[in-house]
Chain A
Amino acid sequence: MNKLDPEIARLITAKEQRRHKLAALPFAEKVRLVVKLQQMAAPVLRARGRPVAVWRLDDLKPVLR
């Protein structure tokens, strides 16, 4: 098996750490992130003909830090 380039290994580790950090967020924070994902994905999906609606949250605050 090829040895991973140290820089690639570092990036993969950082990505894993970020995913676990996201998993540990409070539920309400995660829901706000889901809405952010919806906002990103909706134009692509609509362009493909899939009608999707982004949730209207009453408590949508910036959460990405």
Chain B
Amino acid sequence: MEKTLQVLNDLVRDGVLSRYAIGGAMGATFYAEPVLTFDLDIFVILPRTGSGLLTLEPLYDALRARGYTEEGECVNIEGIPVQFLPAHNDLLVEALTEAREVFYDQTPTRVMRTEHLVAIALQTGPDKDRERVRLLREQAALDREYLANVLTRHRLAGK
């Protein structure tokens, strides 16, 4: 996975991505026990196109140029199917902006804060994500005050 993350870091360096952060099941795995997943959810802030629209196409073009091909909704980067998810609402943009800088072995990367993973799972809502909330609440060190603030600001407090 280190090579995969190095490719993502290269994309940021080259301006293809403004910023990225690991979320989803692998984000939760950073803080809690490992959970089964078959793709790596990478949330991204994309540079706006001239028309102001969000599109993954320049990112996919850059990956194709590096020899990485699409497999369904994912792109296989160094043996790992990566699903790129554009930050399409305020909560996701905040989660990306405030993601933690960490190291995977020798490679720097970014992982969303636990509190944002909880908030995103609550916002998304399917059973699998609810299970993620339970796991993070049970095993991860949550900043309760920070979480309450995030949930209130994004109108998730009652969920």
Contact = CB atoms under 8 A, between A and B. Distances in A.
A complexed with B: yes
Interface of A: 19-20, 22-23, 25, 27-28, 30-31, 33-34, 37-38, 41, 52-53, 55-59
B157 interface: no
A27 B30 contact: yes
Given A22-B34, A23-B33, A31-B26, 15 more contacts: A20-B33, A23-B32, A27-B29, A28-B104, A30-B30, A30-B34, A31-B1, A31-B29, A31-B104, A37-B35, A53-B38, A55-B81, A57-B1, A57-B80, A59-B105
Most chain B CB inside 10 Å of its own CB: which residue of A27, A34, A37, A52: A27
Interface in B133-154: 139-140
A53 B78 CA distance: 13
Interface of B: 1-3, 26, 29-38, 71, 78-81, 102, 104-105, 111, 139-140
A30 to B, nearest CB: 5
Contacts of B33: 19-20, 22-23, 30
A36 to B, nearest CB: 8
Contacts of A34: 26, 29, 34-37
A37 B36 CA distance: 6
